[in-house]
Amino acid sequence: MDTILRINMSGKNGPEIKKESMGDYAGLGGRGLTSMIIAREVPPTCHPLGEDNKLVIAPGMLSGSAAAISGRMSVGCKSPLTGGIKESNSGGQPAQVLARLGYAAIVLEGRPENDDLYKIFINKDGVKIEADNSLKMLPNYDLVEKMKNEHGDKICCISIGPAGEMKMSAASIAFTDMELRPSRHAGRGGIGAVMGSKHVKAIVLDDTGMSTREPKEPEKFKEANKLFTEGLKKHPVTGEGLPAYGTNVLANIINEAGAYPTNNFQKGQFEGTSKISGETLAELETERGGMATHGCHRGCVIRCSGIFHDKDGKFLTKQPEYETVWAHGANCGIDDLDSIAMMDFMDDNYGLDTIEMGATIAVAMEAGLAEFGDAEAAIKLLKEVGEGTPLGRILGNGAAITARAYGIERAPVVKGQAMPAYDPRAVQGIGVTYATSTMGADHTSGYAIATNVLKVGGYVDPLKEDGQIDLSRNLQIATAAIDSTGMCLFIAFAILDQPETFQALIDLLNSFYGLSMTADDVTELGKKILKAEREFNAKAGFTSKHDRLPDYFKKEPVAPHNVTFTVKDEELDKVFNW
């Protein structure tokens, strides 16, 4: 995995392919690589959908190896949603396959002058790009079926749906799972719109004939992988809760904590939570012949995904994630799992971020376009987005744009990006992350829920401002490093509580690359990434004033705790003072 594949879509005679060594980017992977390329090569003030922006798709440092749960993919660009740097992360098969094909990154550059839509095919023999306008406006599931018919079922796909082609700021990029379904998404930040602006509809990968990436010190690697896997399996979150009930295991927990945003963040508890909880979802999936436990890529030992069947026992979608169930559920006042699963499928098929769309529909409900709790109306609004109607184009550009269009003050966004499924008033630490993250409101940038609510890695009272700055800072640094390895972020639960599991992760990296990294080196990697991202954003025009929550979170108490967000602005400005 020592080659960067550059594809210039502005070539005079069509797209131009160039392969180059890692050069100054040597030693980087995942988010570290995407953010460094964007920070160094993209003009910070460029238009996100213009020819100067780049889309970087990079597997992690350990992707393609036998390391457990190492199949995450990072996608980077300047975000059309936030206007700043963006790294969006996805599971699925493509990270492992792209790494085994020897590529550390695909960099899409430029923009065609014509209206052609392109597909890219990569295998052991090389790279092929061709125009295929029969793919225009195909939803993701139909697209993947077409690619299977053309290339067989040993492939995996990276693709955009109609939303990406229409360059909507809520557009995602789909990654196929083990069953070759486009059910895993790099959702946040409108990255699908950037892929659409490059006129690339699909990237098809086939690693037939390629072998697993081998470590430099095989025995040490094998031992480290064993210890790492054991650590994940013995932790109560990664070994019990997530495998049994998926990510939606959090629904009852966060609702009990009073931090489950309901009806566009008007309340912190939802009366219908038990109807849409992880426990209820798993029971329904099993009852209908689906699966409550499933991996999104080979090598996953947590297996927090699942398969959801409809009332007739037919596949509808993957198990809706916690964020998706909340976004289209409690946040919209909807307590029907079938309706939520249908919206999850629609989001995946159109190529939309479920968090952004759920937040947007809730804002639209507050604006009077539908009633809270009306699932049928919510589905109709999503159809508008997929069809690209005038209303759909407003909604498809996210919660901030929708709030502006309809004069709604209460838009739960930071840097233009919608907040995920935790109210920052009831979990002050996640509020700090929302406010200060380089990515806009993003729980995965520094998952304070772990320590504020789940008491992983210690405990910091979620309702008090004390300790939240240090907590968010440390988690943001650690997350930037983890996102570079190709490891799933959920490993953080185990490595925060088990020093030996953290050491096993370091040993995996060292034995694979022949390095001698320490825990301090991991920290420095995280800091290096964050520094580059913040410098890009500063050059793009961001200031400390952008590292803030909307004012109403400081003024409107949220039930049941009746608290506001109390971390002071001057404290928020200290997050990156290391």
Q: What is the pLDDT, as a whole number, of residue 292? A: 84
pLDDT per residue as tens digits for the range 530-560: 999 999 999 999 999 999 999 999 999 999 9
CATH code linked to domain 248-423: 1.10.569.10
Span 132-159, mean pLDDT? 98
CATH code linked to domain 3-205: 3.60.9.10
Q: What percent of the chain has pLDDT over 90?
A: 94
Q: What is the pLDDT, as a whole number, of residue 102? A: 97
Q: What is the pLDDT, as a whole number, of residue 359? A: 98
Q: What is the pLDDT, as a whole number, of residue 438? A: 98
**Residue 11 scores a pLDDT above 90:** no
Q: What is the pLDDT, as a whole number, of residue 302? A: 84
Span 69-97, mean pLDDT? 97
pLDDT per residue as tens digits for the range 449-468: 999 999 999 999 999 999 99
* DSSP calls for 70-127: ---EEEEEE-TTTSSEEEEEE-SSHHHHHHHTTEEEEEEES--SS---EEEEEETTEE
Tokens matching residue 577? 């003072």
Q: What is the pLDDT, as a whole number, of residue 293? A: 84
CA angle at residue 330 from 324 to 336, to 5 degrees? 80
Q: What is the pLDDT, as a whole number, of residue 1? A: 75
Span 182-192, mean pLDDT? 97
When mean pLDDT is compared across 78-82, 219-223, 246-250, 271-275, the lowest value belongs to 246-250
Q: What percent of the chain has pLDDT over 70?
A: 100
Average per-residue pLDDT in the chain? Answer: 96
**Residue 319 scores a pLDDT above 90:** yes
pLDDT per residue as tens digits for the range 166-181: 999 999 999 999 999 9
pLDDT per residue as tens digits for the range 492-541: 999 999 999 999 999 999 999 999 999 999 999 999 999 999 999 999 99
Distance CA 506, CA 70 (A): 13
* Torsions phi, psi for 496 (to 5 deg): -75, -35
Span 244-262, mean pLDDT? 95
Q: What is the pLDDT, as a whole number, of residue 33? A: 98
Q: Cα-atom radius of gyration of the chain, to the nearest Å?
A: 22
Q: What is the pLDDT, as a whole number, of residue 489? A: 87
384, 370 contact by CB (below 8 A): no
CA torsion, ordered 202, 30, 349, 337, to nearest 10 deg = 170
CA angle at residue 296 from 290 to 300, to 5 degrees? 115
pLDDT per residue as tens digits for the range 374-414: 999 999 999 999 999 999 999 999 999 999 999 999 999 99
**Residue 297 scores a pLDDT above 80:** no
Q: Contacts for 457-464 with beta carbons within 8 Å, 24 or more apart?
A: 457/496, 457/497, 460/429, 462/257, 462/259, 462/426, 462/427, 462/428, 462/429, 463/426, 463/428, 463/561, 463/563, 464/428, 464/566
Q: Domain locations in the chain? A: 3-205, 216-245+424-578, 248-423
Span 219-247, mean pLDDT? 93
**Residue 298 scores a pLDDT above 80:** no
Task: Count helices and strands (H / E) in the chain.
Answer: 25, 17
CATH code linked to domain 216-245+424-578: 1.10.599.10
**Residue 155 scores a pLDDT above 90:** yes
